């Protein structure tokens, strides 16, 4: 069993014990927290960590009365004391929380994914069959599919944008029944980010676990682009000898140029302003699992996502202190530093980023066919244009490419990838890094992906011959229909 899907029983036990304690020994007087419970709330939020608290504030700021509940009453008390206003009301117990909501109830759960089942087990006995539960965390889409069988009006909703996005406007990806979506649309639509073209970054993704699947792919793309930026930075500082100040100016310039305007490039420029802190951070990246889930799904559905896979591997090896031994190999190879190094770096980042987006979209397309989700890739690209971590000016091209939502869209997306005029600069940048011993797994994987898509033929004819040799697996031919087997040793 995948350990990433196994529940954290310790956390669930903590949830149980803390909830029992808060129910048994409430620290509130009747009027301290709940405000006017005679007026029902439009929606309730369970979980007041940063994301849950900010989404509750966002919802309330749009004129919707919102009840909140946290497993520890002190957290609710502090939240109401700091942010309490006319449209926010705290509750002491799950029973009181449920009673405070208008019917059919709409409940947004914002707790760690490992605690969702525990919350569901305590919550559902208090609900009516037509009440709607929304999981706004980073749950595995397989778990969402299971929970929807247990509670039909269950929505798995990916939320991207971090704490600032949650407060001012995230990108949200709800998946589940259309009827349940329509019941929550009026509440969530105003809270979403603007897409920059007159719409909101909120739409019905599709049936089943599609919302959490799309958010998972979003995070996989995020892993890929972050790793690409890190590799660009690594070469520029080690080979190009750029200072943090020079790097800050360069990324700030890129953040305003075509193909490179993106949230991740913008925040990278900001980070370099505090280079003294950056230089002291350990070079060991952690992960919460969504990137890994993306690679699992790609393998399951037979979709190539080499940039994302390389990004996951890069985080894994960065934390492997036992294998990493600095200065073990002396690096002597060097080539003359090109005068247009910065231009080479931008070309490499632009095209590798395009490849990363394409990998994610092709994975969603394949999963849509597998589950009959009928995903609208153009809409997904649109709602990623604002609020979310991977927002970029490139997404407008993808929204246009997938507007037909059919085979023409696939050709259009391939055109975006293959019609890139500065690929030679990308190759030159990689050559420079390889010659100087700079690890560039994601940039290299992206180029290999690009070249495979552009190749007239691939060497897998030899692979098929080898498989037929040792396993009689047969092969197809270019000049005849059917399948064939050869006795290679005759």
Instruction: Round to whole Å and give the CA distance between 348 and 443.
Output: 7
- Judge whether 316 and 361 are in contact, CB under 8 Å: no
Instruction: Determine the 3-state secondary structure of 163 from DSSP.
Output: helix
The reply to whether 286 belongs to the active site is: no
Q: Is 71 exposed, middle or buried (0-12, 13-18, 19+ CB in 10 A)?
A: buried
The catalytic residue among 92, 200, 215, 292 is 215
**Residue 218 CB-half CA count within 13 A:** 30
- HEC states along 238-282? HCCCCCHHHHHHHHHHHCCCCCCCEHHHHHHHHHHHHHHHHCCCC
Q: Where do we find the tokens 């009840």?
A: 67
Instruction: Give CA separation, 457 vs 52, 94, 351, in Å.
Output: 51, 61, 22
Instruction: Round to whole Å and give the CA distance between 85 and 33.
Output: 11
The reply to whether 222 belongs to the active site is: yes
Q: Where do we find the tokens 């095209």?
A: 351
Instruction: Round to whole Å and give the CA distance between 177 and 204.
Output: 9
Instruction: Round to whole Å and give the CA distance between 376 and 205.
Output: 7
Instruction: Round to whole Å and give the CA distance between 171 and 151.
Output: 25
- Looking at residue 214, what DSSP letter applies? H
Nearest Cα residue to 222 out of 167, 162, 157: 162
Instruction: Round to whole Å and give the CA distance between 223 and 423.
Output: 23
The catalytic residue among 222, 266, 379, 428 is 222
Instruction: Give CA separation, 446 vs 215, 265, 310, 362, in Å.
Output: 22, 18, 9, 15
User: Beta strand 106-109 with 43-46: parallel, antiparallel or unpaired?
Assistant: parallel
Instruction: Round to whole Å and give the CA distance between 23 and 33.
Output: 14
Instruction: Round to whole Å and give the CA distance between 51 and 144.
Output: 19
- Judge whether 172 and 159 are in contact, CB under 8 Å: yes
What residues are labeled active site?
215, 222
């Amino acid at each position: 069993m995948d350990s990433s899907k196994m529940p954290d029983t310790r956390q669930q036990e903590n949830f149980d014990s803390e909830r029992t304690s808060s129910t048994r020994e409430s620290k509130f007087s009747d009027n301290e927290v709940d405000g006017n419970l005679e007026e029902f709330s439009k929606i309730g939020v369970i979980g007041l960590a940063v994301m849950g608290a900010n989404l509750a504030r966002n919802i309330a700021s749009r004129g919707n009365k919102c009840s909140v509940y946290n497993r520890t009453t002190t957290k609710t008390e502090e939240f109401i004391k700091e942010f309490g206003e006319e449209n926010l009301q705290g509750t002491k117990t799950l029973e009181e929380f449920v009673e405070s909501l208008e019917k059919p109830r709409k409940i947004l759960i914002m707790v760690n994914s490992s605690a969702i089942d525990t919350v569901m087990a305590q919550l559902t006995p208090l609900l009516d069959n037509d009440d709607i539960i929304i999981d706004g965390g980073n749950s595995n889409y397989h778990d969402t599919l299971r929970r929807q069988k247990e509670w039909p009006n269950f929505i798995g909703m990916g939320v991207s944008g971090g704490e600032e996005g949650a407060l001012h406007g995230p990108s949200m990806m709800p998946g589940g029944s259309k009827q349940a979506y329509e019941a929550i649309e009026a509440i969530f639509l105003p809270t979403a980010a603007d897409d920059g073209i007159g719409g909101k970054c909120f739409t019905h993704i599709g049936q089943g676990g599609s919302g959490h699947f799309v958010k998972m792919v979003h995070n996989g793309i995020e892993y890929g682009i972050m790793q690409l930026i890190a590799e660009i930075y690594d070469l520029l500082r080690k080979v190009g000898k750029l200072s943090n100040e020079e790097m800050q100016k360069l990324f700030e310039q890129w953040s305003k140029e075509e193909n490179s305007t993106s949230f991740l490039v913008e925040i990278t420029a900001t980070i370099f302003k505090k280079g003294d802190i950056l230089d002291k951070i350990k070079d060991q990246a952690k992960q919460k699992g969504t990137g890994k889930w993306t690679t699992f799904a790609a393998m399951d559905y037979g979709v190539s996502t080499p940039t994302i896979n390389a990004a996951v591997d890069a985080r894994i090896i960065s934390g492997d202190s036992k294998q990493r031994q600095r200065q073990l190999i002396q690096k002597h190879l060097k080539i003359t530093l090109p005068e247009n190094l910065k231009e080479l770096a931008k070309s490499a980042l632009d095209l590798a980023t395009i490849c990363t987006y394409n990998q994610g979209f092709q994975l969603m397309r394949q999963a849509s066919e597998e589950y009959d989700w009928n995903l609208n890739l153009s809409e997904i690209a649109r709602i990623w244009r604002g609020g979310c971590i991977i927002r970029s000016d490139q997404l407008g091209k993808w929204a246009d490419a997938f507007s037909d939502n059919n085979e023409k869209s696939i050709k259009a997306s391939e055109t975006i990838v293959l019609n890139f005029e500065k690929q030679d600069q990308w190759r030159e940048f990689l050559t420079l890094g390889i010659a100087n011993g700079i690890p560039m797994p994601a940039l290299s994987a992206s180029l290999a992906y690009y070249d495979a898509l552009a190749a007239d033929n691939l060497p897998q004819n030899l692979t098929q011959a080898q498989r037929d040799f040792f396993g009689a697996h047969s092969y197809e031919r270019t000049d005849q229909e059917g399948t064939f087997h050869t006795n290679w040793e005759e």
